[in-house]
Amino acid sequence: MRLTTKGRYAVTAMLDMAMHTGQGPTSLADISQRQQISLPYLEQLFARLRRANLVSSVRGPGGGYLLAMAPEDISVSQVIDAVDESVDATRCQGLSDCQQGDTCLTHYLWSELSTRIRDFLDDVTLEQLMHRHDVQQIATRQDQRVTGTILASS
Protein backbone atom coordinates (compact mmCIF):
# COMPACT_ATOMS: atom_id res chain seq x y z
CA MET A 1 0.00 0.00 0.00
CA ARG A 2 1.21 3.45 -0.85
CA LEU A 3 -0.46 6.75 -0.47
CA THR A 4 1.42 8.79 -3.05
CA THR A 5 2.36 12.44 -3.02
CA LYS A 6 -0.83 13.29 -4.88
CA GLY A 7 -3.06 12.10 -2.03
CA ARG A 8 -0.85 13.52 0.70
CA TYR A 9 -0.62 16.93 -0.96
CA ALA A 10 -4.36 17.05 -1.63
CA VAL A 11 -5.15 16.39 2.04
CA THR A 12 -2.50 18.91 3.13
CA ALA A 13 -3.84 21.61 0.80
CA MET A 14 -7.44 21.01 1.87
CA LEU A 15 -6.46 21.16 5.53
CA ASP A 16 -4.56 24.39 4.85
CA MET A 17 -7.71 25.86 3.30
CA ALA A 18 -9.81 24.68 6.23
CA MET A 19 -7.35 26.30 8.66
CA HIS A 20 -7.84 29.61 6.81
CA THR A 21 -11.63 29.39 6.47
CA GLY A 22 -13.21 32.70 7.36
CA GLN A 23 -10.41 34.71 5.74
CA GLY A 24 -12.03 34.72 2.31
CA PRO A 25 -10.87 32.78 -0.72
CA THR A 26 -7.47 31.12 -0.40
CA SER A 27 -5.08 31.51 -3.30
CA LEU A 28 -3.11 28.54 -4.50
CA ALA A 29 -0.01 30.74 -4.31
CA ASP A 30 -0.60 31.13 -0.56
CA ILE A 31 -1.05 27.38 -0.09
CA SER A 32 2.03 26.77 -2.23
CA GLN A 33 4.10 29.10 -0.08
CA ARG A 34 2.88 27.77 3.27
CA GLN A 35 3.00 24.08 2.35
CA GLN A 36 5.95 24.20 -0.05
CA ILE A 37 4.00 22.46 -2.81
CA SER A 38 4.61 23.61 -6.37
CA LEU A 39 1.93 25.87 -7.80
CA PRO A 40 1.50 23.87 -11.05
CA TYR A 41 0.98 20.70 -9.00
CA LEU A 42 -1.63 22.43 -6.82
CA GLU A 43 -3.43 23.64 -9.95
CA GLN A 44 -3.73 20.03 -11.15
CA LEU A 45 -4.99 18.86 -7.76
CA PHE A 46 -7.51 21.67 -7.43
CA ALA A 47 -8.96 20.96 -10.87
CA ARG A 48 -9.81 17.48 -9.55
CA LEU A 49 -11.01 18.76 -6.17
CA ARG A 50 -13.29 21.23 -7.98
CA ARG A 51 -14.72 18.48 -10.22
CA ALA A 52 -15.44 16.47 -7.06
CA ASN A 53 -17.31 19.49 -5.62
CA LEU A 54 -15.00 19.77 -2.62
CA VAL A 55 -13.88 23.30 -3.49
CA SER A 56 -15.30 26.19 -5.47
CA SER A 57 -13.32 28.86 -7.25
CA VAL A 58 -13.70 32.62 -6.92
CA ARG A 59 -12.43 34.69 -9.84
CA GLY A 60 -11.02 38.17 -9.88
CA PRO A 61 -8.89 40.22 -7.50
CA GLY A 62 -8.80 38.57 -4.11
CA GLY A 63 -10.01 35.36 -5.73
CA GLY A 64 -8.95 31.84 -4.97
CA TYR A 65 -10.69 28.79 -3.62
CA LEU A 66 -13.23 28.13 -0.91
CA LEU A 67 -14.28 24.85 0.63
CA ALA A 68 -17.54 23.82 -1.01
CA MET A 69 -18.75 22.27 2.25
CA ALA A 70 -18.14 22.82 5.93
CA PRO A 71 -14.90 21.22 7.20
CA GLU A 72 -16.92 18.81 9.35
CA ASP A 73 -18.56 17.48 6.18
CA ILE A 74 -15.32 16.69 4.32
CA SER A 75 -13.58 13.44 5.20
CA VAL A 76 -9.98 12.65 4.39
CA SER A 77 -11.17 9.73 2.24
CA GLN A 78 -13.28 12.10 0.11
CA VAL A 79 -10.19 14.20 -0.61
CA ILE A 80 -8.13 11.14 -1.47
CA ASP A 81 -10.88 9.80 -3.74
CA ALA A 82 -11.20 13.17 -5.49
CA VAL A 83 -7.61 12.98 -6.74
CA ASP A 84 -7.99 9.35 -7.86
CA GLU A 85 -5.76 8.05 -5.12
CA SER A 86 -5.97 4.61 -3.54
CA VAL A 87 -5.11 3.29 -0.12
CA ASP A 88 -5.49 -0.32 -1.16
CA ALA A 89 -2.95 -2.57 0.57
CA THR A 90 -3.47 -5.53 -1.78
CA ARG A 91 -1.04 -6.26 -4.57
CA CYS A 92 -3.92 -6.83 -6.99
CA GLN A 93 -5.92 -3.65 -6.28
CA GLY A 94 -8.62 -5.81 -4.69
CA LEU A 95 -9.25 -7.89 -7.82
CA SER A 96 -8.25 -11.22 -6.19
CA ASP A 97 -5.92 -12.09 -9.07
CA CYS A 98 -2.71 -11.60 -7.09
CA GLN A 99 -1.00 -14.83 -8.12
CA GLN A 100 -1.22 -15.37 -11.86
CA GLY A 101 -4.97 -14.86 -11.86
CA ASP A 102 -5.64 -16.57 -8.53
CA THR A 103 -6.01 -15.22 -5.02
CA CYS A 104 -2.77 -15.22 -3.06
CA LEU A 105 -2.37 -16.66 0.44
CA THR A 106 -2.48 -13.27 2.18
CA HIS A 107 -5.03 -11.52 -0.04
CA TYR A 108 -7.75 -11.40 2.62
CA LEU A 109 -5.34 -10.04 5.25
CA TRP A 110 -4.38 -7.10 3.00
CA SER A 111 -7.96 -6.65 1.89
CA GLU A 112 -9.12 -6.35 5.52
CA LEU A 113 -6.31 -3.89 6.21
CA SER A 114 -7.46 -1.80 3.26
CA THR A 115 -10.99 -1.80 4.64
CA ARG A 116 -9.81 -0.68 8.07
CA ILE A 117 -7.69 2.10 6.60
CA ARG A 118 -10.64 3.23 4.49
CA ASP A 119 -12.97 3.17 7.50
CA PHE A 120 -10.46 5.21 9.51
CA LEU A 121 -10.07 7.83 6.77
CA ASP A 122 -13.87 7.97 6.33
CA ASP A 123 -14.14 8.88 10.01
CA VAL A 124 -11.54 11.66 10.01
CA THR A 125 -12.80 15.08 8.91
CA LEU A 126 -10.97 18.28 8.14
CA GLU A 127 -12.61 19.84 11.16
CA GLN A 128 -11.24 17.14 13.47
CA LEU A 129 -7.76 17.73 12.10
CA MET A 130 -8.16 21.52 12.45
CA HIS A 131 -8.85 21.18 16.16
CA ARG A 132 -5.78 19.09 16.90
CA HIS A 133 -3.30 21.04 19.00
CA ASP A 134 -0.31 19.82 16.96
CA VAL A 135 -1.95 20.89 13.69
CA GLN A 136 -2.72 24.34 15.10
CA GLN A 137 0.88 24.78 16.24
CA ILE A 138 2.24 23.80 12.84
CA ALA A 139 -0.21 26.10 11.02
CA THR A 140 0.81 29.00 13.26
CA ARG A 141 4.49 28.33 12.56
CA GLN A 142 3.84 28.17 8.80
CA ASP A 143 1.85 31.41 8.85
CA GLN A 144 4.58 33.15 10.83
CA ARG A 145 7.28 31.86 8.49
CA VAL A 146 5.40 33.09 5.44
CA THR A 147 4.53 36.44 7.03
CA GLY A 148 8.16 36.86 8.11
CA THR A 149 9.32 36.07 4.58
CA ILE A 150 6.91 38.60 3.11
CA LEU A 151 7.91 41.29 5.61
CA ALA A 152 11.63 40.59 5.08
CA SER A 153 11.28 40.93 1.31
CA SER A 154 9.28 44.21 1.49
What mean pLDDT do residues 10-28 have?
Answer: 94
pLDDT for the residue numbered 150: 52
Phi, psi of 66, deg, nearest 5? -125, 150
* Distance of alpha carbon 103 from alpha carbon 121, whole angstroms: 26
| pLDDT score of 153 | 46
Q: Say how far apart CA 127 and CA 125 lie, in whole Å.
A: 5
| Cα–Cα distance list, 145 to 17, 96, 118, 121, 137 (Å) | 17, 48, 34, 30, 12
What integer pLDDT is reported at residue 28 of this predicted model? 96
Domains defined for the chain, CATH in brackets? 5-86+124-153 (1.10.10.10)
pTM: 0.87
Collapse the DSSP code of 125 into the 3-class scheme (helix H, G, I; strand E, B; otherwise coil) and give the result.
strand
- Mean pLDDT is lowest, of 41-55, 68-82, 88-102, 113-127, for 88-102
pLDDT of residue 2: 60
Residue 56 has pLDDT above 80, yes or no: yes
Between 9 and 96, the higher pLDDT residue? 9
Measured between its terminal Cα atoms, the distance across the chain in Å is 45
Whole-number percent of the chain with pLDDT over 90 = 67
Residue 5 pLDDT more than 80? yes
Task: Give the tens place of pLDDT for each residue, 82-108.
Answer: 998 888 888 787 777 777 778 888 889
